Amino acid sequence: MNEIFYNSTRGQDNKVSASQAIINGLAGDGGLYVPDKMPELKLDFEEIKDLSYQELACRILSAFLTDFSRQEIEYCVHSAYDQKFDCPEIAPTVKRGDSYYLELFHGSTIAFKDMALSILPYLMKVAAKKQQIKDTILILTATSGDTGKAALEGFSDVEGIEIVVFYPKDGVSKIQERQMITSAGKNTLVVGIDGNFDDAQTGVKQIFGDAAFRADLATAGYRLSSANSINIGRLLPQIVYYIYSYAQLVRQGHIQSGELIDFAVPTGNFGNILAGHYAKRLGTPINKLICCSNDNKVLYDFINSGRYDIGRDFKLTISPSMDILVSSNLERFIYELSDNDSNQVKTYMNQLAETGSYQIPISKLDQDLVGGYATEQETLDTIKRVFEQDDYVLDPHTAVAKAVYDKYWLQAKPKHCAVIVSTASPYKFTNSVIEAMGYQFTDDEFGLIDKLHQISDIPIPPAVDQIAQRPVLHNYQSSKEEIKQFLYHQKRRGTL
Ligand SMILES: *Cc1c(COP(=O)(O)O)cnc(C)c1O
């Protein structure tokens, strides 16, 4: 039995089982859980190419979640990847013009967060049963837009779990807000915070760090957990679509099994691209992983200099899900680059917390990682050009990756075929997409949904169809100082 355990990147919370790591979310010492070794999966793409997404997901997840039974994995996979996705492939790889795109936006909230947040609730439910946790799991999530709705959908009416999402009242798009406040699950609560995303995030973090409040919740039968990408249960399901995409290219005859390919990944928190790196370590023939940033190009600077430095202005861009300075999943990669030396990782993370930067020896950097970035103008130009040339509409995040890849292609003239990882439907960002195409409308964002449909002829996804007409089911508001009181109040009322 090739059992896999999970170790903390900070070295004080090691050898926990997969189910324990998923329940804990963050390791007890503040680090992130990483698998103690990569499972040995002899990937034979001539065979894998005929597997369904679900079959492949079962195979990959069984190799990592070694304390889950085959039936439990199948239950999770089949509950997650079903008709909630609008195509049987779940994550199709399509060719448009000369480019391949791995479309990760066919789930219920039309952003790639669905790939992991559709399955995390089931993994958590099974893990809680395994760990004999009788308490109700209370998920608290602060969101800047995409994660909140994907988590609300994923956890909707999952037994034994309740979820509260805090979003900045004036910091998300109208479409994103409407998606959240029309959420129907009986176990969901959505709260607008008067403040920005950082305020919401800080409020939630304070609750996690508040021992008295946690004890009080425990008496009432609640246990806190998190749905953000620090949870290993979000990272592992993302490995599947890299392997699946490679297999689809083999199946469609675009590449021979064994041929190397590149992936260009629009990156924020470094979760998606890290899953690609794990897919490579498992034996997928990946040559370069191209880490694509917008104007918040901390990762680009890091990859090219070894210096991670957040001492800079935070820029609001048209690809908001990549507006991030502290990429939390990078810690897992740094751990690997430091030869699993948790003391070294702790030193870097302390330096980051205290001085806002750290420097790793540039020689340590993985030669297979390429960093690039695209400006706002390059991103807009790319949306327009791809629409005109290839009749394909990119959302602004995917457009960053396409712009970066095209620059890389001109400079490096790579021999391998490349897949652009496509993280959101353009319907989620109608304003910027329509502006990029050169149209000017005075409609609000809801009105622009129909306009985009007229221009592009892409069917309107159920996620946003008639969204302006849906009943608003959540109108809770809280000040950033009162998040805790708010939760107490709801508990007394029996809403939680
Ligand atoms: C979250 C998100 C990203 C960034 O992914 P990371 O895993 O945080 O690097 C990119 N695009 C979209 C649309 C997203 O929602």
What's the pLDDT score for residue 492? 67
C-alpha to C-alpha distances, 427 to 106, 475, 493, nearest whole angstrom = 12, 24, 38
Pocket test for ligand 1, best of 105, 146, 175 (most atoms within 8 A of CB): 146
Give the orientation angle of helix 146-155 with respect to helix 174-181, to 10 degrees.
Answer: 20
Contact 322, 424 (CB under 8 A): no
| Closest atom of ligand 1 relative to the 397 alpha carbon | 11
As a whole number of angstroms, the distance between CA 124 and CA 161 comes to 9
pLDDT over 80 at 278, yes or no: yes
Tell me the per-residue pLDDT of 368-378, one tens digit each, with 9 for 90 and over.
999 999 999 99
Tell me the per-residue pLDDT of 436-477, one tens digit each, with 9 for 90 and over.
999 887 778 888 999 999 999 999 999 999 888 899 998 888
Burial class (CB in 10 A: 0-12, 13-18, 19+), 453: middle
pLDDT band per the 50, 70, 90 thresholds, residue 27 = confident
Beta bridge partners of 371: 291
Pocket test for ligand 1, best of 397, 427, 429, 432 (most atoms within 8 A of CB): 397
pLDDT over 90 at 493, yes or no: no
Type and span of the H or E element at 223: strand 222-225
Least confident of 196-200, 332-336, 417-421: 196-200
CA of 402 to the centre of ligand 1 (A): 15
> What sign results for the dihedral spanned by CA atoms 380, 385, 387, 390?
negative
Strands 369-373 and 286-293: parallel
Nearest-CA residue for atom 2 of ligand 1: 321
Contact 31, 12 (CB under 8 A): yes
Provide residues with CB under 6 Å of ligand 1: 111-113, 146, 229, 266-272, 321-322, 397, 423-424
Contact 93, 248 (CB under 8 A): yes
C-alpha to C-alpha distances, 210 to 39, 162, 215, 216, nearest whole angstrom = 37, 19, 9, 10
Pocket test for ligand 1, best of 115, 241, 269, 395 (most atoms within 8 A of CB): 269
Report phi then psi at 257, rounded to 5.
-60, 130
As a whole number of angstroms, the distance between CA 79 and CA 146 comes to 21
**Contacting residues for 313 by C-beta, under 8 A, at least 6 apart:** none
As a whole number of angstroms, the distance between CA 429 and CA 179 comes to 13
Report DSSP letters for 134-184, one per residue: -SEEEEEEE-SSHHHHHHHHHHTT-TTEEEEEEEETTSS-HHHHHHHHT--
What's the pLDDT score for residue 495? 64
Contact 431, 173 (CB under 8 A): yes
Who has greater pLDDT, 173 or 31? 31
What's the pLDDT score for residue 172? 80
What's the pLDDT score for residue 248? 98
CA of 69 to the centre of ligand 1 (A): 31
As a whole number of angstroms, the distance between CA 150 and CA 246 comes to 26
C-alpha to C-alpha distances, 432 to 188, 244, 439, nearest whole angstrom = 30, 31, 10
> What sign results for the dihedral spanned by CA atoms 295, 298, 299, 300?
positive
C-alpha to C-alpha distances, 89 to 19, 100, 275, nearest whole angstrom = 28, 15, 19
Highest mean pLDDT among 85-99, 224-238, 322-336, 353-367: 85-99
Contact 421, 393 (CB under 8 A): no
Question: DSSP secondary-structure letter at 111?
Answer: B
CA of 256 to the centre of ligand 1 (A): 30
As a whole number of angstroms, the distance between CA 287 and CA 180 comes to 39
| Closest atom of ligand 1 relative to the 146 alpha carbon | 15
pLDDT over 90 at 352, yes or no: yes
Contact 425, 395 (CB under 8 A): yes
What's the pLDDT score for residue 217? 87
CA of 423 to the centre of ligand 1 (A): 7
Pocket test for ligand 1, best of 112, 277, 317, 323 (most atoms within 8 A of CB): 112
Least confident of 116-130, 277-291, 314-328, 458-472: 314-328
**Contacting residues for 439 by C-beta, under 8 A, at least 6 apart:** 451, 455
CA of 398 to the centre of ligand 1 (A): 10
**Contacting residues for 411 by C-beta, under 8 A, at least 6 apart:** none
